[in-house]
Amino acid sequence: MANTVIGSTIVIDGEISGEEDLTVLGTVKGRIGLREHIHVEPTGVIEANIETATITVEGTVTGDIHATERAELKSNCRVVGDIRAPRILIADGASFKGNVDMEG
Amino acid sequence: MARTSTSSSSPVPPSTTIGPTLHVRGRILGEEDLRIEGRVDGAIELSETLIVEESGIVVAEVQARDVVVRGIVVGNVTATDSVTLDAGAKLMGDIEAPRVILADGAAFKGSVKVTGAAPRPRARTSAGAKANRSRASAIPRVRAARPEAPVPEQDEPTVVVRRKDVQAAGRGETKAAKKAPPRPAPASAGKATKKKAAKKKVRPKVPSRKKRKVSRR
């Protein structure tokens, strides 16, 4: 599966949709709608509402996250927004502010 | 970047890529190479190289240092260094760059503005000149080197747009003309043959220039 990478100096202001994995090292503002996996690297900054199957956050996310399968917040990540997912993992050291809904 | 490859399970390609199923609507800004295999609507501003792959579709105003198109671009393209349309590329929009390269098989509709007099390295031309110089003193083995002579096409900074068919036709004609140059018929020949010969001589020059297409919008 081809992998999409948003490099560390890239800023996307708008909407991203698609059906493949996305790795974010840069900045995305707007909206993200995917049916696969999103990985937010430590340098990644997302200011957007996110819809995806699974997401792993090591960087910063500001916005609501809706994952149909799984959301994972690693240590040292910062998330501000509501999370809706059937499985949610929050690691020790993760910073999170918002509501959690695990009913799907 | 090095960090990335250690932290994620799969080795991440070094450059930013918009994958084939991805659709971005909005603006993309950046200071690194960007490869587009999917679709981007909006605007792109880069300080490095933008590559639009065969599967890539870009409907956007594009600004970058270098732009390489192998897919489809609709919108004006401005580059501070060069714009390259490879075979299979389709571009609708205006090009503005110090260097514009159109490959055989590229489709292009729009105007071209070759900006700035960025003196471009002319390896070929200088080599040709040297050859010429050495020729004077050299043994007449020169003929072998001769095929290099007809390069004026590449000398031209402006663009030669070539539709395959047009070009094929053009080539055919030129070749034909070269192979059988219309000899000035013996004085006894009729007026009709003379006229025909004149027409044939003029024709082959037409298809390669295309300036009128370039200036039209």
pLDDT at A91 over 90: yes
The 10s digit of each residue's pLDDT in B47-82 is 999 999 999 999 999 999 999 999 999 999 999 999
Question: Which of the two residues, A26 and B7, has the higher pLDDT score?
Answer: A26
Count each helix (H run) and each strand (E run) in chain B, helices first: 7, 13
pLDDT on residue B189: 46
Q: Which residues does A99 contact at the CB level (< 8 Å), separation at least 6? A: A82, A83
Sign of CA dihedral B8, B14, B15, B21: negative
What is the mean predicted confidence (pLDDT) over A14-24?
94
State ipTM. 0.89
Q: Which of A39-48, B146-155, B162-171 ranks highest by mean pLDDT?
A: A39-48
Taking residues B7-14, report their average pLDDT: 46
Model confidence pLDDT, tens digit, residues B185-214: 455 444 555 555 555 555 555 555 555 555
Which two structure tokens, joined as six digits, stand for B197?
């010969």
Asked if the Cβ–Cβ distance from A5 to B20 is below 8 Å, we say no
Chain B interface, mutation test: which of A3, A11, A12, most B Cβ atoms within 10 Å? A12
With CA atoms as reference, report the closest residue to B170 among B202, B199, B207: B207
Where along chain A do its domains lie? 4-99
Q: How confident is the model at residue B116 (pLDDT cuts 50, 70, 90)?
A: confident
Across B100-112, average pLDDT? 93
Confidence of residue B145 (pLDDT cuts 50, 70, 90): very low
Residues of A in contact with B28 (CB under 8 A): 10-14
- φ/ψ of A10, rounded to 5, equals -90, 135
Say if residue A62 is exposed, middle or buried (CB neighbours under 10 Å; 0-12, 13-18, 19+).
Answer: middle
**CA-based end-to-end distance of chain A:** 27
A23 touches chain B (CB under 8 A): yes
pLDDT of residue A19: 93
Phi, psi at B188, each rounded to 5°? -75, -15
Q: Name the band, by pLDDT with cuts 50, 70 and 90, for residue B154.
A: very low
Residue numbers of A between 33 and 92 with CB closer than 8 Å to B: 39, 41-43, 58
Judged by CB atoms closer than 8 Å, whether chains meet at A18 and B38 is answered as yes
Residue of A10, A14, A20 lying closest to B32 (CB–CB): A10
Q: Is B21 close to A2, i.e. CB distance below 8 A? A: yes
